[in-house]
Amino acid sequence: MPKLNQIIAVEKSVKSRSFQELTETHQQLQKPTLMAGISRTYRPKDEEGEQLPPESTRVQLKAEDIVRRTAQIMGNLFDVTATKDWANTEARADVVVGERVLLAGAPVSYLLFLEKQLVDLNTFIRKLPVLDASETWQFDPSADAYATEPVQTVRTKKIPRNHVKAEATDKHPAQVEVYYEDVSVGYWRTLKFSGALPAARVNELTDRVQKLQQAVKFAREEANALEAPDQKVGEKIFAYLLE
Protein backbone atom coordinates (compact mmCIF):
# COMPACT_ATOMS: atom_id res chain seq x y z
CA MET A 1 0.00 0.00 0.00
CA PRO A 2 1.53 3.36 -1.01
CA LYS A 3 2.04 6.16 1.47
CA LEU A 4 0.46 9.57 1.08
CA ASN A 5 3.78 11.28 0.33
CA GLN A 6 4.35 8.81 -2.53
CA ILE A 7 0.92 9.56 -3.99
CA ILE A 8 1.60 13.29 -3.74
CA ALA A 9 4.93 12.78 -5.51
CA VAL A 10 3.33 11.05 -8.54
CA GLU A 11 0.14 13.13 -8.70
CA LYS A 12 1.79 16.01 -10.56
CA SER A 13 3.27 13.75 -13.24
CA VAL A 14 -0.07 11.91 -13.63
CA LYS A 15 -1.87 15.24 -14.11
CA SER A 16 0.72 16.40 -16.64
CA ARG A 17 0.59 13.15 -18.60
CA SER A 18 -3.22 13.11 -18.54
CA PHE A 19 -3.39 16.66 -19.87
CA GLN A 20 -0.94 15.83 -22.65
CA GLU A 21 -2.80 12.67 -23.70
CA LEU A 22 -6.21 14.37 -23.56
CA THR A 23 -4.86 17.19 -25.72
CA GLU A 24 -3.64 14.65 -28.28
CA THR A 25 -7.01 12.85 -28.42
CA HIS A 26 -8.81 16.18 -28.74
CA GLN A 27 -6.57 17.10 -31.67
CA GLN A 28 -7.35 13.76 -33.32
CA LEU A 29 -11.09 14.49 -33.08
CA GLN A 30 -10.49 17.70 -35.03
CA LYS A 31 -9.44 15.60 -38.05
CA PRO A 32 -12.69 14.16 -39.48
CA THR A 33 -10.80 12.52 -42.35
CA LEU A 34 -9.35 10.01 -39.87
CA MET A 35 -12.88 8.78 -39.12
CA ALA A 36 -13.94 8.59 -42.74
CA GLY A 37 -13.58 5.47 -44.88
CA ILE A 38 -14.58 4.50 -48.39
CA SER A 39 -14.63 1.47 -50.63
CA ARG A 40 -15.45 1.54 -54.34
CA THR A 41 -15.01 -0.77 -57.28
CA TYR A 42 -15.19 -0.10 -60.96
CA ARG A 43 -17.17 -2.09 -63.58
CA PRO A 44 -16.92 -1.17 -67.26
CA LYS A 45 -20.07 -1.05 -69.37
CA ASP A 46 -18.90 -3.95 -71.48
CA GLU A 47 -16.23 -6.59 -71.35
CA GLU A 48 -13.97 -4.65 -73.68
CA GLY A 49 -13.98 -1.58 -71.44
CA GLU A 50 -11.04 -0.43 -69.32
CA GLN A 51 -10.53 -2.27 -66.08
CA LEU A 52 -9.71 -0.11 -63.05
CA PRO A 53 -8.50 -1.35 -59.66
CA PRO A 54 -10.75 -0.90 -56.63
CA GLU A 55 -10.17 2.03 -54.28
CA SER A 56 -10.54 2.00 -50.52
CA THR A 57 -9.66 4.06 -47.45
CA ARG A 58 -9.93 2.46 -44.03
CA VAL A 59 -11.39 4.18 -41.00
CA GLN A 60 -8.35 5.06 -38.89
CA LEU A 61 -10.07 6.52 -35.85
CA LYS A 62 -13.26 5.53 -34.05
CA ALA A 63 -15.01 7.93 -31.70
CA GLU A 64 -15.95 5.05 -29.41
CA ASP A 65 -12.27 4.11 -29.07
CA ILE A 66 -11.42 7.73 -28.25
CA VAL A 67 -14.13 7.78 -25.59
CA ARG A 68 -12.78 4.58 -24.01
CA ARG A 69 -9.23 5.92 -24.11
CA THR A 70 -10.37 9.19 -22.53
CA ALA A 71 -12.16 7.24 -19.81
CA GLN A 72 -8.97 5.29 -19.14
CA ILE A 73 -6.82 8.46 -18.96
CA MET A 74 -9.21 10.41 -16.77
CA GLY A 75 -10.09 7.38 -14.67
CA ASN A 76 -6.44 7.01 -13.69
CA LEU A 77 -6.28 10.71 -12.76
CA PHE A 78 -9.51 10.39 -10.77
CA ASP A 79 -8.08 7.43 -8.85
CA VAL A 80 -4.79 9.11 -7.95
CA THR A 81 -6.49 12.32 -6.84
CA ALA A 82 -9.12 10.43 -4.85
CA THR A 83 -6.43 8.35 -3.14
CA LYS A 84 -4.66 11.55 -2.10
CA ASP A 85 -7.81 13.38 -0.99
CA TRP A 86 -9.23 10.42 0.93
CA ALA A 87 -5.90 9.98 2.73
CA ASN A 88 -5.72 13.72 3.42
CA THR A 89 -8.90 13.45 5.47
CA GLU A 90 -7.05 11.07 7.79
CA ALA A 91 -3.54 12.53 7.67
CA ARG A 92 -2.84 14.38 10.91
CA ALA A 93 0.16 15.10 13.13
CA ASP A 94 1.16 17.13 16.19
CA VAL A 95 3.23 20.30 15.85
CA VAL A 96 5.82 20.02 18.62
CA VAL A 97 8.49 22.58 19.56
CA GLY A 98 10.86 21.09 22.11
CA GLU A 99 8.57 19.33 24.56
CA ARG A 100 5.65 21.66 23.92
CA VAL A 101 2.74 20.51 21.74
CA LEU A 102 1.47 23.64 20.03
CA LEU A 103 -1.10 21.95 17.78
CA ALA A 104 -2.50 18.48 18.39
CA GLY A 105 -3.70 16.41 15.45
CA ALA A 106 -3.39 19.16 12.84
CA PRO A 107 -4.71 18.12 9.38
CA VAL A 108 -2.09 17.98 6.65
CA SER A 109 -4.00 20.59 4.61
CA TYR A 110 -3.71 23.04 7.50
CA LEU A 111 -0.03 22.20 7.97
CA LEU A 112 0.58 23.12 4.33
CA PHE A 113 -1.27 26.42 4.82
CA LEU A 114 0.65 27.16 8.02
CA GLU A 115 3.99 26.37 6.40
CA LYS A 116 3.39 28.95 3.66
CA GLN A 117 2.20 31.59 6.13
CA LEU A 118 5.28 31.15 8.32
CA VAL A 119 7.53 31.93 5.36
CA ASP A 120 5.85 35.36 5.07
CA LEU A 121 5.92 35.83 8.84
CA ASN A 122 9.65 35.11 8.95
CA THR A 123 10.24 37.74 6.24
CA PHE A 124 8.11 40.24 8.17
CA ILE A 125 10.04 39.70 11.43
CA ARG A 126 13.41 40.07 9.72
CA LYS A 127 12.35 43.52 8.47
CA LEU A 128 11.31 44.87 11.88
CA PRO A 129 13.06 48.16 12.80
CA VAL A 130 15.93 47.79 15.29
CA LEU A 131 17.09 50.35 17.87
CA ASP A 132 20.21 52.34 16.98
CA ALA A 133 23.12 50.38 18.45
CA SER A 134 25.13 53.59 18.99
CA GLU A 135 22.70 54.68 21.74
CA THR A 136 21.87 53.18 25.15
CA TRP A 137 18.17 52.45 25.41
CA GLN A 138 15.80 51.68 28.31
CA PHE A 139 12.06 51.15 28.12
CA ASP A 140 10.15 54.13 29.50
CA PRO A 141 6.67 53.02 30.69
CA SER A 142 5.44 56.61 30.89
CA ALA A 143 6.19 57.16 27.21
CA ASP A 144 5.40 53.55 26.26
CA ALA A 145 8.55 53.59 24.15
CA TYR A 146 12.29 53.09 24.44
CA ALA A 147 14.28 56.14 25.58
CA THR A 148 17.93 57.16 25.82
CA GLU A 149 19.60 58.66 28.87
CA PRO A 150 19.05 62.46 29.00
CA VAL A 151 21.83 64.49 27.46
CA GLN A 152 22.42 68.12 28.48
CA THR A 153 23.69 70.60 25.96
CA VAL A 154 24.36 74.35 26.25
CA ARG A 155 22.26 76.88 24.40
CA THR A 156 24.25 79.91 23.32
CA LYS A 157 23.29 83.24 21.89
CA LYS A 158 25.37 85.65 19.85
CA ILE A 159 25.74 88.95 21.74
CA PRO A 160 27.13 91.98 19.86
CA ARG A 161 30.32 93.53 21.26
CA ASN A 162 32.25 96.66 20.28
CA HIS A 163 35.93 96.66 19.68
CA VAL A 164 37.54 100.09 19.55
CA LYS A 165 40.26 100.00 16.96
CA ALA A 166 41.14 103.68 17.33
CA GLU A 167 40.14 106.23 19.94
CA ALA A 168 38.36 109.39 18.88
CA THR A 169 40.37 112.53 18.32
CA ASP A 170 39.40 116.14 17.74
CA LYS A 171 39.70 115.43 14.03
CA HIS A 172 38.40 111.82 13.66
CA PRO A 173 35.64 109.84 15.33
CA ALA A 174 36.53 106.61 17.09
CA GLN A 175 36.94 103.56 14.88
CA VAL A 176 34.71 100.83 16.33
CA GLU A 177 34.32 97.30 15.00
CA VAL A 178 31.24 95.24 15.97
CA TYR A 179 31.70 91.53 16.58
CA TYR A 180 29.51 88.81 18.09
CA GLU A 181 30.35 86.67 21.06
CA ASP A 182 28.68 83.30 21.84
CA VAL A 183 27.31 83.58 25.36
CA SER A 184 25.74 80.71 27.29
CA VAL A 185 22.09 81.52 28.02
CA GLY A 186 20.59 78.13 29.00
CA TYR A 187 20.66 74.36 28.77
CA TRP A 188 18.86 71.79 26.62
CA ARG A 189 17.94 68.45 28.22
CA THR A 190 17.37 65.95 25.39
CA LEU A 191 15.91 62.44 25.43
CA LYS A 192 15.43 60.37 22.29
CA PHE A 193 12.45 58.03 21.98
CA SER A 194 11.93 55.12 19.61
CA GLY A 195 9.24 52.59 18.81
CA ALA A 196 11.79 50.19 17.31
CA LEU A 197 12.85 46.93 18.97
CA PRO A 198 16.13 45.84 20.52
CA ALA A 199 18.17 43.63 18.19
CA ALA A 200 18.04 40.86 20.81
CA ARG A 201 14.22 40.84 20.66
CA VAL A 202 14.16 40.64 16.87
CA ASN A 203 16.69 37.80 16.99
CA GLU A 204 14.55 36.02 19.57
CA LEU A 205 11.41 36.32 17.41
CA THR A 206 13.34 35.13 14.35
CA ASP A 207 14.61 32.11 16.25
CA ARG A 208 11.11 31.25 17.43
CA VAL A 209 9.49 31.44 14.01
CA GLN A 210 12.28 29.32 12.50
CA LYS A 211 11.80 26.67 15.17
CA LEU A 212 8.08 26.68 14.44
CA GLN A 213 8.74 26.38 10.70
CA GLN A 214 10.89 23.32 11.34
CA ALA A 215 8.27 21.80 13.64
CA VAL A 216 5.52 22.29 11.03
CA LYS A 217 7.67 20.65 8.33
CA PHE A 218 8.35 17.68 10.60
CA ALA A 219 4.62 17.38 11.33
CA ARG A 220 3.75 17.52 7.62
CA GLU A 221 6.26 14.80 6.82
CA GLU A 222 4.85 12.67 9.62
CA ALA A 223 1.28 13.20 8.41
CA ASN A 224 2.25 12.41 4.82
CA ALA A 225 3.78 9.11 5.92
CA LEU A 226 0.24 7.78 6.42
CA GLU A 227 -0.64 4.76 4.29
CA ALA A 228 -3.02 5.72 1.48
CA PRO A 229 -5.44 2.95 0.44
CA ASP A 230 -6.03 2.94 -3.31
CA GLN A 231 -9.32 4.52 -4.30
CA LYS A 232 -10.86 3.14 -7.50
CA VAL A 233 -13.46 5.76 -8.29
CA GLY A 234 -12.70 6.27 -11.98
CA GLU A 235 -14.12 2.90 -12.97
CA LYS A 236 -17.39 3.59 -11.13
CA ILE A 237 -17.77 7.05 -12.60
CA PHE A 238 -17.16 6.01 -16.20
CA ALA A 239 -19.19 2.84 -15.83
CA TYR A 240 -22.15 5.15 -15.27
CA LEU A 241 -21.15 7.74 -17.90
CA LEU A 242 -20.58 5.15 -20.65
CA GLU A 243 -23.47 2.87 -19.74
Where is 101: in which H helix or E strand? Answer: strand 100-107
pLDDT at 176 over 80: no
pLDDT level of residue 171 (50, 70, 90 thresholds): confident
Q: Is the separation of the CB atoms in 182 and 102 below 8 Å?
A: no
Of the two residues 8 and 133, the one the predictor is more confident about is 133
Question: Could you read off the pLDDT of 126-142 as tens digits, one per residue?
Answer: 999 999 999 999 999 99
Sign of the Cα torsion 81, 86, 89, 95 reads negative
Question: Could you read off the pLDDT of 91-127 as tens digits, one per residue?
Answer: 999 999 999 999 999 999 899 999 999 999 999 999 9
pLDDT level of residue 193 (50, 70, 90 thresholds): very high
Determine what percent of the chain is predicted with pLDDT higher than 70: 100
Could you tell me which of 150, 142, 145 has the C-alpha nearest to residue 129? 145
In angstroms, the first-to-last Cα distance of the chain is 31
Helix (H, G, I), strand (E, B) or coil at 34: helix
**CA 22 to CA 51: how far, in whole Å?**
46
**CA 109 to CA 16: how far, in whole Å?**
22
- For the entire predicted model, the pTM comes to 0.67
pLDDT at residue number 82 = 92
Could you tell me which of 87, 71, 73 has the C-alpha nearest to residue 230? 87
Please provide the DSSP assignment of 175-217 as one string: EEEEEEEEEEEEEEEE--EE--B-HHHHHHHHHHHHHHHHHHH
**CA 209 to CA 183: how far, in whole Å?**
56
Q: Is the separation of the CB atoms in 148 and 136 below 8 Å?
A: yes
